[in-house]
Amino acid sequence: MSLSDAQVLEAVSSLIDDNTGKPFVAAKAVKNIKISDAELSLDVVLAYPANSQHESVRQRFEAALAPLAEQRKLSVRVGSQITSHSAQRGVPLLSGVKNVIAVASGKGGVGKSTTAANLALALSAEGARVGILDADIYGPSQPLMMGLQGQRPETPDGKSLKPLENHGVQTMSIGYLVDADQAMVWRGPMVSQALQQLLNDTRWDNLDYLVIDMPPGTGDIQLTLSQKVPVTGAVIVTTPQDIALLDARKGVTMFQKVGIPILGMVENMAIHVCSNCGHAEHIFGEGGAARMAADFGVDVLGSLPLDMGIRLAADGGTPTVAADPDGKVAELYKAIARKVAVKVGEKAQDFSGKFPKIVIQNN
């Protein structure tokens, strides 16, 4: 039986990507179809990292193609290809970084930094090259969370910094450059300049995603980020509590005003399950993030429990996704990470980095 590419595409046309809700064929994820008397092979190339799901996708494609293959050897390869996507108009891409994701809250104390660290680790676990920048100049927490407190980055040329790496994630923070007990008594312009230097002077090594752990509020750092940094999208972290939602609304509004799209919301500390009796209780309220998301027309990317293990892991320098990669909480973070990456993958691509620089000289 002779086969054509069209027949192969027809056989898999009904397969739906569970992460995007769209057919793989319609998303142009099916590539490199090769047909011979001995073999039928193709590639499924996802626009987001999803290592944990590659095997299930491969099995679905093989099951759909088996009736066509007959005596041919069937080979389905599943992988990811992450590209740069558009950010604010007129803001150039960062060297060595394809996409920038800001994690913000508008309010402190809602677990934003813990969420940012685990989001970065989850993206890395799913197969992406990831970095995390601690943009909280006044209260950096990523050195502790990432198990790198007390270490100093190298400066090969006296001008740039090599990011420190742990758990497979590249990191940079003002906390690496000052003593842990030193208070940063700086005014806004100095803080903004420090942020720009940390971003631009760090030698990020071919990152698919740079996660920026934002400080609370809507002040100088947030404005600097929107004007100088090519942010692909923002993730808003909140708890169900009304007072947290009030500040989270301000964060959403700020990003909307400066043209940075909201990728979605993460509801932290959504429910507490007693470790002794198993009783579940919504300590900070219930459904607040869903109501707010509906008001702004954005998605809730996931809800995380109020769990002592999350806090202990972060304080110990090995966040949950690294400490217990196969646990239930890690799966929640990975699901959120895939949704974030899918949202990024759906944005328009940025090809500016592929064009040569044109210099016009007057002779």
Binding positions for ATP: 106-113
Q: Longest C-alpha distance within the chain, in Å? A: 82
Contacts of 300 (CB under 8 A, 6+ apart): 264, 265, 266, 267, 289, 290, 293
CB atoms within 10 A of CB 28: 9
Helix (H, G, I), strand (E, B) or coil at 312: helix
Q: Are residues 105 and 274 in contact, defined by beta-carbon separation less than 8 angstroms?
A: no
Distance CA 321, CA 324 (A): 6
Residues paired with residue 209 on neighbouring β-strands, in sequence order: 99, 130
Task: Kindly state the DSSP code that residue 94 receives in the 8-state scheme.
Answer: P
Q: Where are the alpha helices (DSSP H) in 96-241?
A: 112-125, 142-145, 188-200, 220-228
Binding positions: 106-113
